[in-house]
Amino acid sequence: MTDLERHDYDVVIIGAGGSGLRAAIEAREQGRRTAIICKSLFGKAHTVMAEGGAAAAMGNANPRDSWQVHFRDTMRGGKFMNNPRMAELHAKEAPDRIWELETYGALFDRTPEGKISQRNFGGHEYPRLAHVGDRTGLELIRTMQQKIVSLQQDDFAATGDYEDNLKVFSECTVTELLKDSSGRIAGVFAYWRETGRFLVFCAPAVVLATGGIGKSFKVTTNSWEYTGDGHALALRAGSTLINMEFVQFHPTGMVWPPSVKGILVTESVRGDGGVLRNDTGSRFMFDYVPDVFRKQYAETEEEADGWYDDPDSNRRPPELLPRDEVARAINSEIKAGHGTEHGGVFLDIATRRSPEFIHKRLPSMYHQFKELADVDITKESMEIGPTCHYVMGGVEVDPDTAAAANVPGLFAAGEVSGGMHGSNRLGGNSLSDLLVFGRRAGSGAAQYLARIGTDRPAVSEDDVTAARNRAVAPFGREGGDNPYSLHQELQQSMNDLVGLIRTAPEMREALSRLQLLKDRAATLTVEGHQQFNPGWHLALDLRNMLLVSECVARAALERQESRGGHTRDDYPTMSAEWRQVNLVCSIAPAGDGIELAHQPLPKMADDLIRLFDRGELSKYLTPAEMAALPVGVQD
Amino acid sequence: MTYDAHFRVWRGDTDAGDLQDYIVEVNDGEVVLDVIHRLQATQTPDLAVRWNCKAGKCGSCSAEINGRPRLLCMTRMNNFGADETVTVTPMRAFPVVRDLVTDVSFNYTKAQQIPAFAPPVGVAPGDYRMAQVDVERSQEFRKCIECFLCQDTCHVVRDHEENKQAFAGPRFLMRISELDMHPLDSRDRKLEAQDRHGLGYCNITKCCTEVCPEGIHITDNALIPLKERVADRKYDPLVWLGSKIFRRGSSTGGARTPGA
Ligand SMILES: Cc1cc2nc3c(=O)[nH]c(=O)nc-3n(C[C@H](O)[C@H](O)[C@H](O)COP(=O)(O)OP(=O)(O)OC[C@H]3O[C@@H](n4cnc5c(N)ncnc54)[C@H](O)[C@@H]3O)c2cc1C
Ligand code: SF4
Ligand code: SF4
Ligand code: FES
């Protein structure tokens, strides 16, 4: 194939968000020639939108904080479905990863002693989120982008070429992973968005850092990039996805005007004193504290308000419950007829904090509401409602090396990986997850290369031809659907039928609609040419969205309980038996369908289990598990 | 309120192009990007435009609306009368790729040439101590979303392709200023700002500041103070001599002053 661009690398990283960049830095620092591929321009990945902060038990705001407390909070937030080893590594390593960013030039907000300031967030026992106003993700991505440039400058000084050992291929989309005859990763197939030209990267190690799947839902905080590409690539390459039924609906998205519906309103508004009210002005969250959390949350407004200044003698306000609880509570208020004019509830910071405080702590929220909704949040309440935000599910990985299941040479980190957050992610735990497991993936890839030595895989030319034919297929057809309308139908179905509250009949309906959409997607027609053609790009992304949506719907139908980011109207309670089960999706041997299997959840090590008392464990574990607890667990 | 608006959108590629007329529906509360998306979905599926966050956070959707450099996602339709024609064109200072998408690689090249943060020697990770008042100055510049609208606007390069080589543009001069004000950066950046990145081309017209969607005071807070510090340096004979001696042996890239 003559018009095909070819590159050779040691490590190819798909994704330039927090996890991809951290992986690239690590692989490069371990001496590996590394390529970063991303769909948008460099510096625009989803991570840039993160607002609130990155959770790490540095203990700057409250010296009682430690990795053990962070670990406990993470497990509670995930309702004990987390991969405990991942949660442990995350809690232990997050502080070092944050401090390291300062050596790259990051400028976090400071405490009076000049340390990194830490803010409160839902589900975190102590103020724990390192932050920069409400634009922490921007700081993270820019810092690492600049670190990459710094590594390139070192190479320039040594070789005269900035891009010799570390190069960013931006506005370039990967459509397939390529394997050698023995089933190991051999490279990737991609196209330039600008020209439509195809590329092949030969590389023994590939890191998936592609982020989430939210663009399959209508109301979402996620951008066009979140089409689940990495999830689908992993599946098609023979790896597995876990926890796909767990999708986080953020409690506070904008609801008005319609064109901004879904855009995130950061949790920091609540962390910094904002409260939720219904149409009567009542702080309804006090009515929604579930039993498992009763001990940690305030029962009166006085106690809740006292907590901001004196957290040692007051319990936390219920507005800061984990996201799944808050989202369900808001949903119930709206359903009960206590919503606002535009179908949300009120988020009030105006009556609680001074305009100066709001401008200082929440500048981009002020800006966002002023510009997009004509609302001055220092004077009026915001109208908010749940919005699809994050997928807990993802590629099944080895916690220590980030190696993906079943496919040698494949790694995954960040939102595309599964297990770390269990059934529900705590705010701020994603940014730190990106750093901890991004680094581990980069290092896992480097170690893998050392292991295979000179035995490098070869790309099969037949696979390249097949990949190319699949990519151009939509141009050759006539009379099929337009990708935009198909996408809208998919989003509507997922939103209505596999959303925040789920039932079996609705999910069955979703699955049959997905099947019809899949059939129609096979005959999609695209107009125009290959040069920067968004219609074509969407047509290729749709294949991934449909596959991943099927995983979500299948797993959600299977799991007969409610837990974290999976709420069943027909099975409203948590089941200790189901906690022991990970649902694993793989591609069916024939065709493009999904197979679902039950797999035991990895066990918590004894020293980790001793961090909890029996009373708390009994809310999550089966009687048999309780009977088998190690010695030394407190009552 | 829903109405039909008259849009004129530049369509074309590297070879040729012109403004094309569309009549398109507009609803309450929408921004220009919503209307462009509606055009894609209903009339012209291959219309090329960049966007990501749709909330003014990523700086992808830069273009010119009625001749003014702006973010498509942060420009509300109620800025325009229902009978007003809205003209959308790509950023003028950069070569067009297709329709509203331009080749912004100039900016990434410049970014690569600004020497990176030089960490303080002997301070371990975790031991960085900085006062909030001291980080705030640089933090203002780190709000930059790299929309490159200031780069598009600055008259030094807007219609002067020939200056692009010597001039980093407001965004990247501001980056030098940011590092210079970083409490723990250990590199002296003043002379290189002037000699290698073209600070002298800036004649403080403030056009960059006017278009910045983040409201960063680029000229007043970054460029003018940098110019002042450069002036202080240039007139100090000892520093001048020292810097000349250092520069002879150094390469143009990111090589750091040994031991600095
Ligand atoms: C509005 C918002 C606010 C948030 N706030 C917070 C917060 O305060 N704290 C927190 O911890 N978390 C927050 N999150 C979550 C967190 O930001 C994300 O989970 C995280 O940034 C994901 O990072 P990532 O590295 O996995 O992927 P991303 O940053 O999403 O990057 C994905 C990358 O993969 C690339 N890519 C995808 N598919 C392909 C393909 N086929 N080919 C090539 N490249 C591809 C994309 O171009 C992109 O570069 C927030 C999320 C949103 C949406
Ligand atoms: S102030 Fe300087 S950088 Fe800004 S537009 Fe004017 S000349 Fe350009
Ligand atoms: S300084 Fe302002 S205008 Fe310039 S790139 Fe940054 S955000 Fe855009
Ligand atoms: S789409 Fe991100 S700034 Fe407009």
pLDDT, tens only, A602-632: 999 999 999 999 999 999 999 999 999 999 9
Nearest to B223 by CA among B191, B178, B254, B185: B178
Domains located in chain B, CATH noted: 3-102 (3.10.20.30), 105-248 (1.10.1060.10)
What average pLDDT is seen over chain A? Answer: 94
Whether residues A259 and A381 share a domain: the answer is: yes
A328 occurs within a structural domain: yes
pLDDT level of residue A236 (50, 70, 90 thresholds) = very high
Looking at residue A528, what is its pLDDT? 84
Specify whether A270 is catalytic. Answer: yes
CATH number for the domain spanning A261: value is 3.90.700.10
Whether residues A270 and A384 share a domain: the answer is: yes
Total structural domains in chain A?
Answer: 2
A22 occurs within a structural domain: no
The C-alpha R_g of chain B, in whole angstroms, comes to 21
ipTM of the complex: 0.91
Mutate one of B10, B47, B142 to test the A interface: name it (highest A CB count within 10 A): B142
Could A371 and B76 be called an inter-chain contact, meaning their C-beta atoms sit closer than 8 Å?
yes
pLDDT digits (tens, 9 = 90+) for A474-529: 988 888 888 999 999 999 999 999 999 999 999 999 999 999 999 999 999 898 88
Residue of B nearest to A255 (CA): B29
Alpha-carbon gap, residue A336 to A41, rounded angstroms = 44
B39 phi and psi angles, rounded to 5 deg: -60, -45
Residue at which a domain ends, from A340, A361, A389: A389
Which has the higher per-residue pLDDT, B70 or A589?
Answer: B70
A:B CB pairs within 8 Å: 185
Atom of ligand 1 nearest to the CA of A38: 44
Alpha-carbon gap, residue B97 to B90, rounded angstroms = 9
Whether residues A384 and A483 share a domain: the answer is: no
Whether residues A481 and A379 share a domain: the answer is: no
Alpha-carbon gap, residue A191 to A174, rounded angstroms = 7
Whether residues A385 and A479 share a domain: the answer is: no
Nearest to A174 by CA among A404, A15, A17: A15
Residue at which a domain ends, from A580, A595, A630: A580
Mean pLDDT, to the nearest integer, of A256-262?
A: 87
Alpha-carbon gap, residue A430 to A398, rounded angstroms = 18
Alpha-carbon gap, residue A151 to B116, rounded angstroms = 9
A289 occurs within a structural domain: yes
Query: Residue A616: which region, alpha, beta or left (left: phi > 0; alpha: psi -120 to 50)?
Result: alpha
**Is pLDDT at B252 greater than 50 in this prediction?**
no
**Is pLDDT at B57 greater than 60 in this prediction?**
yes
**Is pLDDT at B11 greater than 60 in this prediction?**
yes
**Is pLDDT at B103 greater than 90 in this prediction?**
yes
DSSP state letters, A181-242 = TTS-EEEEEEEETTT--EEEEE-SEEEE-----GGGSSSBS--TT-S-HHHHHHHHTT--EE
Looking at residue A268, what is its pLDDT? 87
Pocket flag, ligand 1, residue A417 (CB < 6 Å): no
Looking at residue B246, what is its pLDDT? 43
Residue A373: give the domain boundaries.
251-389
Residue at which a domain ends, from A359, A389, A419: A389
DSSP state letters, A523-580 = T----S-STT-HHHHHHHHHHHHHHHHHHHHHHHHH--S-BTTBEESSS-S--HHHHT
A231 occurs within a structural domain: no
A293 occurs within a structural domain: yes
Bridge-based pairing state of the strands A241-242 and A247-254: unpaired
For chain B, what percent of residues have pLDDT higher than 90? 81
Give the N- to C-terminal CA distance of chain A in Å, as an integer: 68
Looking at residue B233, what is its pLDDT? 76
A529 occurs within a structural domain: yes
pLDDT digits (tens, 9 = 90+) for A531-574: 888 899 999 999 999 999 999 999 999 999 999 999 999 999 99
Alpha-carbon gap, residue A626 to A576, rounded angstroms = 11
Whether residues A381 and A267 share a domain: the answer is: yes
B contacts of A266 (beta carbons < 8 Å):
none
Mean pLDDT, to the nearest integer, of B92-113?
A: 96
Distances (CA, A) of A467 to A8, A27, A159, A408, B199: 18, 27, 35, 21, 49
CA B250 to mean position of chain CA atoms: 28
Residue of B nearest to A486 (CA): B41
pTM of the model: 0.94
Alpha-carbon gap, residue A89 to A429, rounded angstroms = 12
Alpha-carbon gap, residue A526 to A482, rounded angstroms = 7
Burial of A256 (0-12, 13-18, 19+ CB in 10 A): buried
Specify whether A231 is catalytic. Answer: no
Could A153 and B254 be called an inter-chain contact, meaning their C-beta atoms sit closer than 8 Å?
yes
Percent of chain B that is helix, strand, coil (3-state, to 5):
40, 15, 45
Which of A156-160, A314-318, A391-395, B249-253 has the weakest average pLDDT?
A: B249-253
**Residues linked to residue A174 through DSSP beta bridges, in sequence order:** A190
Angstroms from B139 CA to nearest CA on chain A: 7
Pocket flag, ligand 1, residue A46 (CB < 6 Å): yes
Looking at residue B245, what is its pLDDT? 43
Residues 6+ apart with CB under 8 A from B101: A194, A532, B48, B49, B50, B90
Looking at residue A79, what is its pLDDT? 96
**Is pLDDT at B243 greater than 60 in this prediction?**
no
A484 occurs within a structural domain: yes
**Which of A364, A431, A543, when mutated, tests ligand 1's pocket best, judged by the most ligand atoms within 8 Å of its CB?**
A431
**Is pLDDT at A159 greater than 80 in this prediction?**
yes
Mutate one of A532, A536, A538, A542 to test the B interface: name it (highest B CB count within 10 A): A532
Nearest to A225 among B46, B52, B185 (CB): B52
Alpha-carbon gap, residue B34 to B51, rounded angstroms = 11
B contacts of A528 (beta carbons < 8 Å):
45-46
Nearest to A110 among B29, B58, B131 (CB): B131
A304 occurs within a structural domain: yes
Looking at residue A230, what is its pLDDT? 98
Looking at residue A260, what is its pLDDT? 87
Pocket flag, ligand 3, residue B144 (CB < 6 Å): yes
Contact at 8 Å (CB) between A150 and A158? no
Looking at residue B255, what is its pLDDT? 35
Looking at residue B247, what is its pLDDT? 41
Tokens 């590297």, residue located: B14
pLDDT level of residue A200 (50, 70, 90 thresholds) = very high
Write out the two tokens for B31. Answer: 């921004």
What average pLDDT is seen over chain B? Answer: 89
Angstroms from B89 CA to nearest CA on chain A: 16
**Is pLDDT at B260 greater than 80 in this prediction?**
no
How many other CB atoms are found less than 10 A from the CB of residue A233?
A: 25
pLDDT digits (tens, 9 = 90+) for A446-458: 999 999 999 999 9
CATH number for the domain spanning A485: value is 1.20.58.100
Q: Name the residue with the closest Cα to ligand 1, atom 38.
A: A210
